Structure 1
Amino acid sequence: MNVLTIASFFFFTGIVAIISWRKVRRQKTDTLNGLFLANRSLGFLFVGGGLLFTNINTATIIGENELTYTNNMTVMAWGVTSVFAMLLVSEFIMPIYLRTGISTTPDYLEARYDRTTKKIVSVIFLVSYIINLLPTVLYSGAVAFNGLFHFSERFRTSYWTTIWILIWVMGAIGCLYSILGGLKAIAVSDTLLGLGLFAGGLALPFLGLKYLGDGDAAQGLHILLSSDTSHLNSIGTAADPIPFSTLFTGMLLVNLYYWGTEQYIVQQVLASKDLVSCQKGIAVAALGKLISPLLLNVPGLIAVHLFRHLPNATEAFPKMISLVSPPFISGYIAAIIFGAAFTTFNAGLNSSSTLFILNIYKPWLEKKGQQPPEAALIRTAKRFEIAVCLVAMCIAPFIIFAKKGFYTYIQTVNGFFNVPVFTILFIGFVTKKVPPIAAKTGLIFFITAYASLQLLVDTQIHFLHLLFILFILTSALMLAIGRLYPMATPYRQKVNNLVDIQPWKHRHVYAVILLILMLLLFLIFSRAGLAR
């Protein structure tokens, strides 16, 4: 373990911590609005940075590079096609959220359907965060750190024990950061780390190519482009983890859910100071997603030529960094990965307590006739975050036993939670008379059917296609219920905007530019481009 690497890691981590502290020390987090929504004061750079780096976490970095290493560039589609979904969300969904003044996604479902639907979806979100999001972020962070610093070898502990220790250390630090700083601290650190991500994303492929070419980056690039070119292909067949056809079915739905419904993502946008900042921030994050393959996929391509047989493909990314980077740069990349783990983990914790306090605990107290002071609710929120953190830390180590690859595991498990919620939200957007019973029936049908098809029946159909089929069937079921038992009074959206909702006038120009860049990326990484 190089001393310069350790010093570099603490230097860059310290810079982010100090700047974040200076930015938020005057920010009040002694109110629910301050703790959960940064007093709705975030500008577009903080919104964009929060969105991007909350999304690009260690699970994404480790998982996508693993699939690129073991298969090809088809996994790039998760991030690149999300640009299209983000632009749709920016144009059609976020104006609705800001216009209605909601604090959580389930708030809209309460307005559109009823309070019970809101509670059910809040519970679904919480379960998703506790058993999937938070554990996977901790596990991938632990894998990355062990690969970078070789803790298991240095301290002569088993891999399993090392992962356990790292998970608990990271979980404890992340929980403390979230409790003390709130969403404002998360957004500030996200923005700083997002800038670092771009710099690291440019530096790491260069260092990898230079090592591959024995000191000549151009020679390394020649090797990358002239051998094992099948790895360069992003247009997947039925045999690939991401067949190209899934981009137009389940992947589109998952991305629409993620950017337009997922609480820990949407919460970054709900904290915008106005709709212009919201839409500009989403555009910044979309640009970041187009640059992100430099960090999420290209290192996996280089690792193909450096490590022919890895017993644990999850370690492809950290082992490559450790091999090709000078000590100072290794510490810098380690700081970026450290931040990537914490930003998503902290955002997940903050959103978990937001959902619990605002949608479950506070309404329960009010139903009992109690009006708790905000100070008491904040204390409860922080205690809840500690409890959620402990559960996630207990689950995280067991992800090591996941089959079909780490990243595929994440997306498959997400299917139990994401598209079912998006389905009822979508029907709520496009209809006015579909009743609350249709939303509840739709959720039960979708989750039960998906669980049966994943756990009991081997359909040989890709899980993203299954999600799309179930989306169609569930939508038809809800529309049929709405036809038979329509709401007596059609839903009317109530305006309660707490910020300016005048849209960004240049959004369509930037949307066209971003979409053209998205298509060019697929063309470059195809058999008509680099993979020919």
Structure 2
Amino acid sequence: MNITAFATFIIVTFLVALISWVKTRRHKITTSAGLFLANRKLSFTAVGTALFFTNISAAEFVGNSESVYLNNMTVMAWGISSVFAMLIVSEFVIPVYLKGAMSTTPDFLENRYDSQTKKLVSIVFLIGYMVNLLPIVLYTGAVALNGLFHFSDIWDISYGASIWILVWCIGLIGSLYSILGGLKAIVISDLVLGVCMFSGALLLAYFGLKYVGNGDLQNGIHTILSSKTEHLNSIGTAGDAIPFSTIFTGMILMNLFYWGTEQVIVQQALASSNLEASQKGIALACAGKLLGPLLFILPGIIAVHMYQSMENTTEVFSRVVSEVSPPVLSGFIAAVIFGAAITSFSPGLNSASTLFILNLYKPFKEKEGIPVTEKNLLKTSKRFEMFASLLAMFIAPLFLFSSDSFYTFMQKINAAFSIPIFTIMFVGFVTKKVPPIAAKIGLAFCLTGYILTQMVFDTGIHFLHVLAILFVLTSVIMLIIGKLYPMERAYVAQNKPVVDLKPWKYRHWVNGLLLLIMILLFLLFSPLYLSAAR
């Protein structure tokens, strides 16, 4: 281990924590709204950086770099194409949530269908968080840190054992962040880490390109643009990890779910001071997503020119950082990776607690006639967060046994929870009389169908196309039920806003520019330009 790198890591991590503490020390958490929604007072910069950094965990660094190294830049479609979904959510979905003063996305399902549907979806969300989202954040953070500091060699233990230890370190620190600081502390850390991330990405690009160019930056740029250009292709064929056609089927559905329904993400936008701040914040997060090729893809491209082969490809990013960067930068980037893991794990815990407390625990207590105080809600939420974090820490190391490309493996698991929920949400948004029983049947059909097609039957169809087929079939089933057994009274959206709902005046112009940049990026990294045969 390089002492300078490790010292830099400790110092930067301490400074981020110190800034967060200074900014939140007078922010006393006395209510569930303060713990879960930062009292709905976040500015657009806070919303934007929170959205972006909550989305960015070590999985983005580890998974994207590995996928580019093994395949090509088709993996960038997940991040770049999400801009379209984010803008749809900004324009049509967030106003509905804020208008109804909703704290969780399943609140919409209770208004649209019934309380049983809300509870059922909340349970599905919680299962997804505890067996997928939280463990993945911990695992990839551990992989990245071990690759940067080689703890397994220093401690003279196996690779798997070092991952176990690091998973528990990240999990325990992330738990403290969430339990003691709530959403406000997480958002402050996001602001600081956002600046650090972009600075680190630019410096890593500089040193990485110089390394490839044998000390000459321009030669490094020329090398990656003139050789092995097949890795610069973002337009995937049927044989690639992400065929381009999947962007228009399952991928758009998963992105719409993630940015418009996923509690851990939507909760950041619901904490905004008004609709304008929320829409500006989403646009800011979109700008961050469009920088994805620089932040997450370039290290994988650099690795292509550095290594002929690697035994453990999940360490592509870590090896590039440790070999091309000066020790201070390696420590700095390690601190950013560690911070990214913490500020993805902590919001996940916070959102899981929000769902459990507001959608399951509190309604159950009230139904039993047991009075529930704010003090009791806060105490119970902290206990639940400890339970969820412990479960995630036990599950995370099991990802060592995944055989697929990690990023693809992660998205396949995500799909099992996302599309069933998104489908019943979508039908609820676009119809007025589809009954609650249709939502329950639709949820069960879509979830069962996906599990069967991925684990029992080999359809030979890409899993994202399967998602689109299941979405259509489930929607048709729900619409048929709605036609045969419609609700007696048509659904009427709630109107009890707690913040100003005036939309952002310039959103259409900015959104149009963001979409144009998205299209140009796909053209830039395509056989029409950078990946053309030389």
Shorter-chain TM band: over 0.9
- What secondary structure does 1:516 align onto? helix
Structure 2 partner of 1:68: 68
**Which whole-Å CA distance do the structure 1 matches of 2:324 and 2:72 have between them?**
21
TM-superposed CA distance for 1:185, in Å, is 0.6
**Which whole-Å CA distance do the structure 1 matches of 2:352 and 2:151 have between them?**
31
Structure 2 partner of 1:270: 270
Moved more, 151-160 or 231-240: 151-160
- What secondary structure does 2:360 align onto? helix
**Structure 1 residues 345-356: aligned runs within 5 Å:** 345-356=345-356
Letter in 2 for 1:183: L
Structure 1 partner of 2:104: 104
- What secondary structure does 2:90 align onto? helix
| Alignment pair present for 1:43 and 2:43 | yes
How many residue pairs get matched? 532
- What secondary structure does 1:156 align onto? coil
**Which whole-Å CA distance do the structure 2 matches of 1:228 and 1:195 have between them?**
32
**Which whole-Å CA distance do the structure 1 matches of 2:196 and 2:114 have between them?**
43
Is contact 1:48-1:191 (8 Å) kept?
no
TM-superposed CA distance for 1:82, in Å, is 0.4
Structure 2 partner of 1:9: 9
Structure 1 partner of 2:514: 514
TM-superposed CA distance for 1:28, in Å, is 2.6
Is contact 2:76-2:292 (8 Å) kept?
no
- What secondary structure does 2:305 align onto? helix
TM-superposed CA distance for 1:286, in Å, is 0.1
Structure 1 partner of 2:306: 306
Structure 2 partner of 1:436: 436
Structure 1's unaligned 5+ residue stretches are none
Structure 2 partner of 1:147: 147
Moved more, 350-359 or 152-161: 152-161
Deviations 1:410-451 (A, max 9, x none): 100111110111111111111000000000000000000110
Structure 1 partner of 2:527: 527
Letter in 2 for 1:450: Y
TM-superposed CA distance for 1:90, in Å, is 0.2
Structure 2 partner of 1:363: 363
Structure 2 partner of 1:121: 121
Structure 2 partner of 1:320: 320
Letter in 2 for 1:108: F
Letter in 1 for 2:370: Q
**Which whole-Å CA distance do the structure 2 matches of 1:26 and 1:83 have between them?**
36
Structure 2 partner of 1:382: 382
Is contact 1:424-1:439 (8 Å) kept?
yes
- What secondary structure does 2:237 align onto? coil
**Structure 1 residues 213-292: aligned runs within 5 Å:** 213-292=213-292
Is contact 2:432-2:491 (8 Å) kept?
yes
TM-superposed CA distance for 1:531, in Å, is 0.3
**Which whole-Å CA distance do the structure 1 matches of 2:126 and 2:56 have between them?**
20
CA-atom RMSD in angstroms: 0.7
- What secondary structure does 1:415 align onto? helix
**Which whole-Å CA distance do the structure 2 matches of 1:103 and 1:27 have between them?**
20
Is contact 1:9-1:335 (8 Å) kept?
yes
**Structure 1 residues 442-521: aligned runs within 5 Å:** 442-521=442-521
Structure 2's unaligned 5+ residue stretches are none
Letter in 2 for 1:222: H
**Which whole-Å CA distance do the structure 1 matches of 2:293 and 2:264 have between them?**
23
Moved more, 220-229 or 358-367: 220-229
Is contact 2:134-2:392 (8 Å) kept?
yes
**Which whole-Å CA distance do the structure 2 matches of 1:60 and 1:89 have between them?**
22
TM-superposed CA distance for 1:473, in Å, is 0.4
Is contact 1:145-1:334 (8 Å) kept?
yes
Letter in 2 for 1:107: D
- What secondary structure does 2:416 align onto? coil
Structure 1 moving runs of 4+ over 4 Å? none
TM-score w.r.t. structure 2 length?
0.99
**Which whole-Å CA distance do the structure 2 matches of 1:354 and 1:36 have between them?**
6
Is contact 2:235-2:243 (8 Å) kept?
yes
TM-score w.r.t. structure 1 length?
0.99
Deviations 1:107-156 (A, max 9, x none): 01000000000001000110000000010110000000000001111121
- What secondary structure does 1:259 align onto? helix
Letter in 2 for 1:371: P
**Which whole-Å CA distance do the structure 2 matches of 1:194 and 1:460 have between them?**
41
Letter in 2 for 1:90: S
Is contact 2:275-2:499 (8 Å) kept?
yes
Deviations 1:173-217 (A, max 9, x none): 110111000001111111211121111221111111101111111
Deviations 1:16-49 (A, max 9, x none): 1111111111223121000000000000000000
- What secondary structure does 1:392 align onto? helix
- What secondary structure does 2:238 align onto? coil
**Which whole-Å CA distance do the structure 2 matches of 1:184 and 1:220 have between them?**
42
Letter in 1 for 2:131: I
**Which whole-Å CA distance do the structure 2 matches of 1:191 and 1:121 have between them?**
31
Structure 2 partner of 1:197: 197
**Which whole-Å CA distance do the structure 1 matches of 2:375 and 2:308 have between them?**
56
**Which whole-Å CA distance do the structure 2 matches of 1:287 and 1:498 have between them?**
28
Is contact 1:349-1:385 (8 Å) kept?
yes
**Which whole-Å CA distance do the structure 2 matches of 1:143 and 1:427 have between them?**
40
**Which whole-Å CA distance do the structure 2 matches of 1:30 and 1:327 have between them?**
43
Structure 2 partner of 1:186: 186
TM-superposed CA distance for 1:292, in Å, is 2.1
